[in-house]
Amino acid sequence: MFVRVALDHPLPTLFDYRCDPEATPQPGMLVNVPFGKRMVVGLVCEVTAHSEVAEDRVRAVDNICIACPPLSTAWLELAGFAAEYYQRGLGEVALPALPQALRDATRWTRLLAPQERYRLLPAGRAALPDALPVRATALRRLADELANAEFLTAPDARALHPKAAATLDGWLAKGWVALEVIDAAAPIGLAQPIDTAAPATAGPVAVSASSEGEMVAPTESAAFSADHARSVSRTSGGRSPDTLAAPLLPILTDEQTAAVSAIHNANGFAPFLLHGVTGSGKTEVYLRALAALLDTDLTAQALVLVPEINLTPQFEAAFRARFAALDDGAIVTLHSGLAEGERARNWFAAHTGHARIVLGTRLAVLASLPRLAIICVDEEHDPAYKQQEGLRYSARDLAIWRAKQLGIPVVLGSATPSLESWWQADQGRYQRLTLARRAIADAALPTVKLIDLEDERRRGRASVDGLSGPLISALKARVERGEQSLVFLNRRGYAPQLSCDACGWVAGCPRCSAYVVLHKPERALRCHHCGWETRIPRACPDCGNVDIAPLGRGTQRVEESLAKVVPGARVLRIDADSTRRKGSAQALFSDVHAGEVDILVGTQMVAKGHDFRRVSLVGVLNADTALFSHDFRASERLFAQLMQVSGRAGRAGLPGEVLVQTRYPRHALYHALARHDYVGFANATLAERRDAHLPPFVYQAMLRAEGRTLDAALAFLLQAATALREIPAAERVTVYDAVPLTIVKVMNVHRAQLLIESASRAALQATLRAWQPMLRALKGVLRWSIEVDPLDI
Ligand code: ADP
Ligand code: ZN
Ligand code: ZN
């Protein structure tokens, strides 16, 4: 008997191995096989009686993973589709989608072992870390982790502290922590019904808490569905008192009700575009749609995708609170920020059906979910859904495919849908659900005003450090009234350039064709492309002039200026630099929510999804640069970002105001923004795209090449373009000139790209398939890759 196995290898073929029939191999099983001189884990795709490979060349399977139930045919099809569509080998898609623990056969036996994990109890929360010696840093870290994470597994604890087991035993005896034993490999079907009127013992948590009574088993009956909402008065404002175990449900607005029932009544594959203005309560729609489904089908699973899970703690909290009556461990997250062990466990919970709700980032779209019944994609327009390396897939597009494959509803939510999705809805392929009003009765959309910087200058009202007079006054007024403001600019660091007035020298990266960014607090010049860093020089390295000065403005500089022009204001900066440490983003955001901040300055990080309740003013700096980009999607992205960030203002009661500083106050994009007119913007931009033959009216693919020199990269692309002429399907494909990337050199590697496009997706796909083997035969570059549906041109 033979198995045909997919391996994580660029060749798009399956590899044959001999297998003992007694081992009953099945498609979807993982096997450990010899490959060259190594052993690797592969995925069984077929089981056959014959092999084309010569008898003496077929090697034998070493080991089959019995700890992991086989991946379903549907999942194999999903991986197969992604591989084919994105021009990759099946194994290159399937294996990286699995948790690391499954890809290492030496760890398979441990998978079956029950998982021990520790949870901090209230008594421990009160006692720790004060009970620990000040210098016991490792112990303190252990206590810290326990306090921050929901639980800590025994191996993770050991990794933090070599004697963790003994310490935790001590804490267990003191009643500070509880020990739980989870049987991760328990088969599907044992998943506990949500209705907790049924005894809460059938679930996978086997228990052994030393201090009983503290480990909370949900006691309230599940109050998920809309019916329970009736008794709750609207005046609660939708916020449930934290003390109640079963959350109060807000009364849905008419628009929300219509959306929920459309989703609920859907039959089979049903793609929805939930277009809801910021603050219209899209989350509530997902919650109700899920509740309705999970209430009626006690084994159904839901997948909810968000662009960046670390930035949406409120989102996760809302799901955990609403579905608190679900079995422990029935809501899991999947994202790259998880520790490896936790990610494996969560993946397993999804794969075995224990997890009823999977909340995750783009990688979760490839999770194994045997009972998947609904998918929600929040902020579906977000570019973060596109993987930018390796398999360059769009999680949103794969979500649609998956829903179609399974015949289930998929909800794409956004205040500013991608033009691709908007166009699908225009054509009637997606059903549009509109939430035009904010959910909270007294929260109107903010007024948007444009501050004409040229006009300010002509009137002799100079800006101070890039902050215009009207913006400064508005900020001061908010501070006086005790309201919060948000200042948005999409550039981190202190200044994007450091230059010498005397000779024109600008600090550049030695490895990239890019300027380095000045980071003042860190006293460093840093390359944002490769991470190269150096100290700020005292004088110009070219002419010795000591008067070298920063050019332009980043968040650090604006933070500094704000402290100067709005004296006494508590200014907080949130960007990739200030949140580098794990968990620090959450801490900073809590400060904002707690009202400990007057002015928040930040990059798009602050624009995404946060429900800031006291922000009444948003200032936008430096948005103009994106208006004239060579990338045709730049204006779509800018519009979405500005709508998002504007949406942070005036969410609860306080009237919101948005001030945009610009040199182009008459630009159509700003006009649409001022009128909150996504529809007008989308329709106008789509019309332009149609005239210009741009996506979504054509389909594109990008061939990128990286060489030691630019010439090498361009020569490769030229040969590639010539090869295209031999492909019949390429007759319907337009080939553009090979061009260097905007930042042509990164890490001493030179990069160029070749764009091809077609009005026919099938022609483009056929061309790419025929092209691949030709490209493999070409030489002269370090690397090349194909990206289908590229987002960055
Ligand atoms: P969006 O994701 O559309 O920007 P959110 O889901 O963040 O909006 O909702 C905005 C706020 O409105 C949240 O505080 C939410 O709790 C509240 N909310 C949602 N639906 C209702 C409702 N029907 N009644 C009252 N408040 C609601
Ligand atoms: Zn100089
Ligand atoms: Zn660099």
**CB-based burial label for 535 (10 Å; 0-12, 13-18, 19+):** exposed
Q: Which residue has the higher pLDDT, 159 or 123?
A: 123
Judge if 292 and 376 occupy the same domain: yes
Q: What is the pLDDT of residue 183?
A: 61
pLDDT over threshold 50, residue 192: no
In whole angstroms, give the CA distance from residue 441 to residue 374. 29
Alpha carbon 167 to chain centroid distance?
36
pLDDT over threshold 50, residue 190: no
Ligand with an atom nearest the CA of residue 548? 2
Q: Which of 112, 128, 143 is the last residue of a domain?
A: 112
Q: What is the pLDDT of residue 444?
A: 81
Question: Which residues have C-beta atoms less than 6 Å from ligand 1?
Answer: 238, 250-253, 256, 276, 278-284, 439-440, 611
DSSP element (H, E) containing 190 = none
Q: Which of 410, 435, 460 is the last residue of a domain?
A: 435
Phi, psi of 442, rounded to the nearest 5 degrees: -95, 10
Sheet architecture: strand order including 177-182 = 152-153, 115-120, 177-182
Q: Which residue has the higher pLDDT, 725 or 221?
A: 725
- State mean pLDDT over 114-132: 83
Taking CA atoms only, the protein residue closest to ligand 1 atom 2 is 282
Q: What is the pLDDT of residue 196?
A: 30
Sheet architecture: strand order including 447-452 = 447-452, 657-662, 615-620, 484-488, 599-602, 571-574
747 Cα: distance to centroid of ligand 3 (angstroms) = 6
506 Cα: distance to centroid of ligand 2 (angstroms) = 8
Q: Which residue has the higher pLDDT, 240 or 17?
A: 17
* Helix spans in 25-136 (H): 73-85, 90-94, 108-112, 122-127
Ligand 1 mutation pick, 283, 380, 614, 646, max ligand atoms within 8 A of CB: 283
Judge if 309 and 334 occupy the same domain: yes
Q: What is the pLDDT of residue 702?
A: 97
Ligand 1 mutation pick, 440, 608, 643, 646, max ligand atoms within 8 A of CB: 440
Confirm whether residue 503 is marked as ligand binding: yes
User: What SS3 class is residue 100?
Assistant: helix
Beta-carbon contacts of residue 286 (< 8 Å; ≥ 6 apart): 304, 376, 378, 411, 413
Residue 236 located in a structural domain: yes
In whole angstroms, give the CA distance from residue 263 to residue 280. 17
Ligand 1: atom nearest CA of 278 is 4
State whether the Cα torsion 647-375-241-296 is positive or negative: positive
The DSSP annotation for 224-271 comes to: -SGGGGGGS-GGGTTPPPTT-SSPPPPPPPHHHHHHHHHHHT--SSEE
Asked if 179 contacts 215 with a C-beta cutoff of 8 angstroms, the reply is no
Taking CA atoms only, the protein residue closest to ligand 1 atom 23 is 252
Amino acid at 592: V
- State mean pLDDT over 165-189: 75
Ligand with an atom nearest the CA of residue 532? 3
Amino acid at 70: P
Length, in residues, of the chain: 793
644 Cα: distance to centroid of ligand 1 (angstroms) = 15
Name the band, by pLDDT with cuts 50, 70 and 90, for residue 223.
very low
Q: What is the pLDDT of residue 582?
A: 66
- State mean pLDDT over 531-555: 93
Taking the CA atoms of residue 623, residue 627, residue 632 and residue 633 in that order, the dihedral angle to the nearest 10 degrees is 20
Taking the CA atoms of residue 718, residue 724, residue 725 and residue 727 in that order, the dihedral angle to the nearest 10 degrees is 170
What residues are paired with 179 via a beta bridge?
A: 118, 208
- Domain of 770: which CATH number? 3.30.70.360
Taking CA atoms only, the protein residue closest to ligand 1 atom 5 is 281
Residues whose beta carbons lie less than 5 angstroms from ion ligand 3: 509, 511-512, 527, 529-530, 532
In whole angstroms, give the CA distance from residue 27 to residue 187. 18
Judge if 664 and 707 occupy the same domain: no
Name the band, by pLDDT with cuts 50, 70 and 90, for residue 48.
very high
pLDDT digits (tens, 9 = 90+) for 581-623: 766 777 888 888 888 899 999 998 887 756 677 899 999 998 9
State whether the Cα torsion 140-145-146-152 is positive or negative: negative
Q: What angle do CA 667, 673, 678 make, to 5 degrees?
A: 115
- Domain of 11: which CATH number? 3.40.1440.60
What tokens appear for 315 in the block?
Answer: 């989102």
C-alpha pair distances (Å), 571 with each of 310, 520, 577, 615:
22, 16, 16, 13
Q: Which of 636, 663, 687 is the last residue of a domain?
A: 687
Judge if 34 and 172 occupy the same domain: no
Residue 531 located in a structural domain: no
- Domain of 643: which CATH number? 3.40.50.300
Q: What is the pLDDT of residue 649?
A: 84
C-alpha pair distances (Å), 294 with each of 62, 303, 334:
41, 12, 20
Taking CA atoms only, the protein residue closest to ligand 1 atom 15 is 281
Confirm whether residue 19 is marked as ligand binding: no
In whole angstroms, give the CA distance from residue 229 to residue 284. 12
DSSP element (H, E) containing 432 = strand 431-435
In whole angstroms, give the CA distance from residue 672 to residue 377. 25
Judge if 619 and 597 occupy the same domain: yes
Name the band, by pLDDT with cuts 50, 70 and 90, for residue 697.
very high
**Among 172-186, 722-736, 764-778, which is the least confidently predicted range?**
172-186
Whole-model pTM?
Answer: 0.84
Judge if 146 and 266 occupy the same domain: no
Name the band, by pLDDT with cuts 50, 70 and 90, for residue 464.
confident
252 Cα: distance to centroid of ligand 1 (angstroms) = 9
User: What SS3 class is residue 115?
Assistant: strand
Q: What is the pLDDT of residue 204?
A: 35
- State mean pLDDT over 290-302: 94
502 Cα: distance to centroid of ligand 2 (angstroms) = 5
pLDDT over threshold 70, residue 222: no
What tokens appear for 601 in the block?
Answer: 């300055």
In whole angstroms, give the CA distance from residue 26 to residue 246. 44
777 Cα: distance to centroid of ligand 3 (angstroms) = 31
Judge if 256 and 403 occupy the same domain: yes
Name the band, by pLDDT with cuts 50, 70 and 90, for residue 182.
low
Name the band, by pLDDT with cuts 50, 70 and 90, for residue 83.
very high
Phi, psi of 524, rounded to the nearest 5 degrees: -135, 155
Residue 535 located in a structural domain: no
Judge if 721 and 670 occupy the same domain: no
Supply the Cα-derived Rg of the chain in whole angstroms.
Answer: 28
Confirm whether residue 543 is marked as ligand binding: yes
User: What SS3 class is residue 320?
Assistant: helix
DSSP element (H, E) containing 637 = helix 634-646
Name the band, by pLDDT with cuts 50, 70 and 90, for residue 275.
very high
Q: Write down the mean pLDDT value for the chain.
A: 87
Confirm whether residue 540 is marked as ligand binding: yes
User: What SS3 class is residue 397?
Assistant: helix
In whole angstroms, give the CA distance from residue 324 to residue 334. 19
Q: What is the pLDDT of residue 626?
A: 86
**Among 107-116, 236-245, 359-368, 624-633, which is the least confidently predicted range?**
236-245
Beta-carbon contacts of residue 169 (< 8 Å; ≥ 6 apart): none
The DSSP annotation for 669-718 comes to: HHHHHHTT-HHHHHHHHHHHHHHTT-TTSSEEEEEEEEESSHHHHHHHHH
Residue 736 located in a structural domain: yes
DSSP element (H, E) containing 638 = helix 634-646
What tokens appear for 643 in the block?
Answer: 């709508």
Q: What is the pLDDT of residue 234?
A: 34
pLDDT digits (tens, 9 = 90+) for 318-355: 999 999 888 878 999 999 988 888 888 899 999 999 99
Residue 148 located in a structural domain: yes
**CB-based burial label for 23 (10 Å; 0-12, 13-18, 19+):** middle
Name the band, by pLDDT with cuts 50, 70 and 90, for residue 197.
very low
Amino acid at 160: L
Asked if 305 contacts 458 with a C-beta cutoff of 8 angstroms, the reply is no
Residue 521 located in a structural domain: no
In whole angstroms, give the CA distance from residue 466 to residue 496. 14
Judge if 89 and 123 occupy the same domain: no
Name the band, by pLDDT with cuts 50, 70 and 90, for residue 135.
confident
What tokens appear for 65 in the block?
Answer: 């993973």
- Our count of domains for the chain comes to 5
Residue 514 located in a structural domain: no
Judge if 594 and 606 occupy the same domain: yes
Q: What is the pLDDT of residue 443?
A: 74
Q: What is the pLDDT of residue 325?
A: 87
Alpha carbon 742 to chain centroid distance?
25
Phi, psi of 601, rounded to the nearest 5 degrees: -115, 135
Residue 29 located in a structural domain: yes
Q: What is the pLDDT of residue 191?
A: 35
| Secondary structure letter of residue 391 according to DSSP | S
pLDDT over threshold 70, residue 241: no
Domain that holds residue 734: 699-788
Name the band, by pLDDT with cuts 50, 70 and 90, for residue 113.
low
Judge if 120 and 104 occupy the same domain: no
Q: What is the pLDDT of residue 209?
A: 34
**Among 294-308, 494-508, 540-554, 649-663, which is the least confidently predicted range?**
649-663
540 Cα: distance to centroid of ligand 2 (angstroms) = 5
DSSP element (H, E) containing 413 = strand 409-414
In whole angstroms, give the CA distance from residue 259 to residue 239. 21
Taking CA atoms only, the protein residue closest to ligand 1 atom 19 is 281
pLDDT digits (tens, 9 = 90+) for 654-690: 789 999 999 999 999 999 999 999 999 999 999 999 9
Judge if 266 and 313 occupy the same domain: yes
